[in-house]
Amino acid sequence: LDGSGELEFEEFCILASKFLIEEEEDTNAELLNSELKEAFRFYDREGNGYITTEDFKEILRELDPEIPESELIGMVNEIDVDDSGTVDFEARSLQDNSTHGRTFSS
């Protein structure tokens, strides 16, 4: 999203949260981050630290079934600048309940 070719975990959270329907105004950010991490892990079926861009689009569709295909393609193009077809998750710093140092890259 910042043009670096990498989608940092915080940026993924922002992107995904745009599609979440909040049940309460005081949504617990830590819980949201935890759920997003679990969603990434769920779609990382092989446990190899990345998901395909098709799986990423599936996640976004589940968050907002009405999202136009053109928007999905635009989001994927923003994070998959090398056209690898993957969104990678690198844990540079394994801190409990923290997103520091975690990035998604294409």
Is residue 1 in a domain? no
Q: Evaluate if pTM is beyond 0.85.
A: no
Q: What is the pLDDT of residues 94-105, one digit of tens each?
A: 223 333 333 444
Is residue 76 in a domain? yes
* CATH of residue 56: 1.10.238.10
Total domain count, the chain: 1
Q: Which domain holds residue 46?
A: 6-17+29-105
Is residue 53 in a domain? yes
Is residue 24 in a domain? no
Q: What is the pLDDT of residues 41-65, one digit of tens each?
A: 777 878 887 888 888 888 888 888 8
CB count within 10 Å of CB 16 equals 20
**Cα–Cα nearest to 2, from 79, 97, 83:** 79
